[in-house]
Amino acid sequence: MLISRRTRLSLRAIALLYLLLLLLLPVAVVFIKTFEHGFSVAWGWMTTPAAISALWLSLVMAIIAVPLNTVFGVGAALILVRRRGRMAALLDALVDLPFLVSPVIVGLALTLVYGIHGWVGTFFSDRGVRIIYAVPGMALATIFVSLPFVVREVAPVLAEVGDEQEQAAATLGATSWQTFWRITLPSMRWGLAYGVILSTARALGEIGAVLVVSSLIAGSTLTLPLLVYQRDSQLGSGSITAAYAAATELAVISLVVLLVMTALSPRRQEVS
């Protein structure tokens, strides 16, 4: 079906307008509001002890969640692509669960399981271990919501590459670990890198599930997205500027992630 030049230009204009209204304009407003009182004021809000602690805790959440989800994602992708059967089909369905379930429900479910009066929460609370309204619960929520990305990026790459080289290596006497490190892992490296970046972005920006299981204490259980939420809920012009300053930090992190994803995209397409 041939599309006229006028139709193509109209579709492009609509797409650009859509992106402008929903993405570029809101981000631009955040930056404008952040620096409307001067850079020093914005920088002051970005470098408060609460803001620095929130940024650090967000990074800690990513440092905990991303490596665990990377290991799980690679293993799950190998099972989905290299194995067949009911267990693989069940795993394939469960991997998409974080996409289907609201993050707020995830936080509530974690509270019911790991809370003080939860199914297993009593076991931990009796031993002085606090999970919900503490960093461990926030880490669990972050792990859950960022779980699918590595799997969904690595699995198509493995399916496209196939297992002929792995079979040849096994025929030549290579062990399973040698085959994985020298053949399987290099073949999926760009898909893996893309999945890790997406998982990191999700972990850094998560708020819904983490909000439910956090005690919202500055310097303790307040991540950067939660700091934006907390400052935005306060009254006064200063708190609004503070919220925009924290939002700008998140926006800058998102832009860095976007640049890295853009840089990796050509290599990822070459592999697939």
pLDDT at 167: 84
CATH number of the domain bearing residue 58: 1.10.3720.10
> From the centroid of its chain, how far is CA 141?
11
Q: What is the pTM of this model?
A: 0.87
| Across 47-51, 141-145, 261-265, least confident range | 261-265
Split into its structural domains, the chain has a count of 1
HEC readout, 24-85: HHHHHHHHHHHCCCCHHHHHHHHCCHHHHHHHHHHHHHHHHHHHHHHHHHHHHHHHHHHCCC
DSSP assignment letter at 162? -
Of 70, 67, 267, the closest CA to residue 154 belongs to 70
| pLDDT of residue 145 exceeding 90 | yes
pLDDT of residue 113: 93
Let me know if residue 15 belongs to a domain: no
**What gap in Å lies between CA 142 and CA 53, rounded to an integer?**
17
| pLDDT for the residue 3 | 66
Q: Is there a domain that residue 184 lies in? A: yes
Averaged pLDDT for residues 26-47: 89
56 pLDDT band, cuts 50/70/90, is very high
Question: Span 70-91, mean pLDDT?
Answer: 88
Residue 176 lies in a domain: yes
Query: Is residue 11 included in any domain, yes or no?
Result: no
Does residue 168 belong to any structural domain of this protein?
Answer: yes
Judge whether 9 lies within some domain: no
Inform me whether the pLDDT recorded for 269 exceeds 70: no
Instruction: Flag whether 237 is in a domain.
Output: yes
Residue 133 lies in a domain: yes
Domain residues for the domain of 241 are: 25-271
pLDDT of residue 174: 82
Which amino acid type is present at position 226?
L
The tens digit of pLDDT for each residue in 176-229 reads 888 888 888 888 888 899 899 999 999 999 999 999 999 988 888 999 999 999
